[in-house]
Amino acid sequence: MSVNVVHLVGRVGRDPEVKYLDSAKVVCKLTLAVNRLSRNSDEPDWFNLEMWGKTAEVAANYVRKGKQIAVEGSLKFDSWSDRATGANRSSPVILVERLELLGSKKEDEANSFGGGSGM
């Protein structure tokens, strides 16, 4: 038996990158910063997320940098050949199947209107 399931809760590292493909499909990519409970460091682990279809549309419309989200999906590896060296490269990506928006409505309003961040 094989299982490939990933559950993460963290904060979005940048606004979503959304692409509408010719085949009427939509894809959304973003990064997620996740703190480890067992680590004594302030540095989070960073994950690349990829979403398709309705999930991608929800992310495009409601997710912004700093937003706390929970995701469920599977781990995959994107592979390519390095243009400069010709070496094979790969990068882990979480293929998101379920997205949950977290945080309060008040927090979202503060982020949308520029309040609460001190910037």
- Across all residues in the chain, what is the average pLDDT? 86
Residue 49 domain-assigned (yes or no):
yes
The CATH number assigned to the domain holding 51 equals 2.40.50.140
Mean pLDDT (whole number) for 14-33: 93
Q: Is the pLDDT of residue 94 over 60?
A: yes
Cβ(61)–Cβ(30) below 8 Å = no
Mean pLDDT (whole number) for 85-94: 91
Residue 42 domain-assigned (yes or no):
yes
- Name the domain count of the chain: 1
Residue 116 domain-assigned (yes or no):
no
Is the C-alpha dihedral spanning 4, 92, 13, 24 positive or negative?
negative
Residue 14 domain-assigned (yes or no):
yes
Residue 83 domain-assigned (yes or no):
yes
Supply the pLDDT for residue 107.
64
Which residues constitute the domain of residue 23? Answer: 6-93
- Would you place residue 116 in the very low, low, confident or very high pLDDT band (cuts 50, 70, 90)? very low
Residue 101 domain-assigned (yes or no):
no
- Would you place residue 113 in the very low, low, confident or very high pLDDT band (cuts 50, 70, 90)? very low
